[in-house]
Every structure is written in C-alpha cells, then in structure tokens.
C-alpha cells in the first residue's frame, strides 16, 4: 500500500492539560505510546512542535506532536516537512476518526479529509492530498449527543486499552 519509506510520523492532537486523554488527542496518545517503545536518539521542542528522533529497525524516523491546535495543524506540519527536507508522501499522519468503530484502523496512502478539520488544514497547507494517514476509530457520539463534545470528551480508561493496543 505504501511504496515510500516513512521518514516522519505525526500524531494529531490539541496542546494543553485539559485535552489529555480526549478522543481528539488520540494521535498524540498513539505517538506517546510509540515513543515509549523506541530507542530515542534526540528530542527537541521546536516552534512547530515536539520532534523526537528515534531508531526503528536501524532507520531514523522523526516522531512529531505539533504545537498547534489540531484544526490548525497544517502550517506547523508544512514547516516540519520543509525544515527536515521530507516529502509529504514520506510523512504519515495519525488521527482520530469518529466514522470508524472504536479501535478500528484505516490506513490510506492518500485521500480527502473525510470531514476531519485537522486533515483539511494539512491538505490546505501542503497543497496536496498525497500523504499517508492512519485513522483510528473513536466511534460516533451516541444519538442526541453533540459531536464536538464527543471528540473533546475523555476516552474512558477501559477504552484506552482498546485504541492503544
């Protein structure tokens, strides 16, 4: 499916303690989980975000958590791609998706935003849809519940294991 070596993995989320463990921060949670299992070469906070250089199977990969809010993440991701001389198709974006069942995965090499405002921002900033993305299901809100409240709501602890395993 992906014919290009991935040089950067970006997890989408919102900065700030109030967003820790929310559904919309699932990208950050996956990145944190991944970093905890890797050999860290270097870590630095930059204006566009936290950049952690790790060694995976003798290959150096950048793991990134943008410093901007999820819906405005495009400019920071564009800056990180440019500053590190990486192509969009060498960057995979990890994000939440309320259209997928809890814990379901969908990997695509390219495509539209599917209504996700974070992806809309990235597509607009990069001027391309040709970058891989890994969507992780958070499930739709219960009938009658607000979508914004759902994505900004905390993931119940019992469900965190489902989405991070």
Contacts of 45 (CB under 8 A, 6+ apart): 51, 67
d(CA 92, CA 130): 10
d(CA 29, CA 79): 22
Tokens of 105: 């995965």
150: annotated active-site residue? no
Tokens of 75: 């400019």
Residue 143: how many CB atoms within 10 A of its CB? 5
Tokens of 156: 């119940």
Residue positions annotated with a catalytic role: 24
């Amino acid at each position: 499916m992906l014919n290009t070596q991935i040089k950067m993995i970006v997890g989408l989320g919102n900065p700030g303690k109030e967003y820790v463990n929310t559904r919309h921060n699932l990208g950050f949670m996956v990145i944190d989980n991944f970093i905890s299992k890797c050999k860290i070469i270097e870590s630095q906070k930059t204006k566009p975000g936290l950049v952690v250089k790790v060694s995976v199977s003798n290959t150096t990969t950048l793991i990134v958590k943008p410093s901007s809010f999820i819906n405005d993440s495009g400019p920071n991701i564009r800056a990180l791609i440019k500053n590190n001389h990486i192509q969009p198709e060498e960057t995979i974006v990890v994000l939440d998706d309320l259209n997928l069942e809890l814990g379901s995965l969908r990997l695509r090499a390219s495509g539209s935003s599917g209504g996700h405002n974070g992806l809309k921002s990235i597509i607009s900033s990069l001027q391309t849809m040709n970058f891989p993305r890994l969507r992780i299901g958070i499930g739709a809100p219960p009938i009658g519940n607000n979508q914004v409240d759902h994505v900004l709501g905390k993931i119940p602890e019992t469900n965190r294991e489902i989405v991070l395993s």
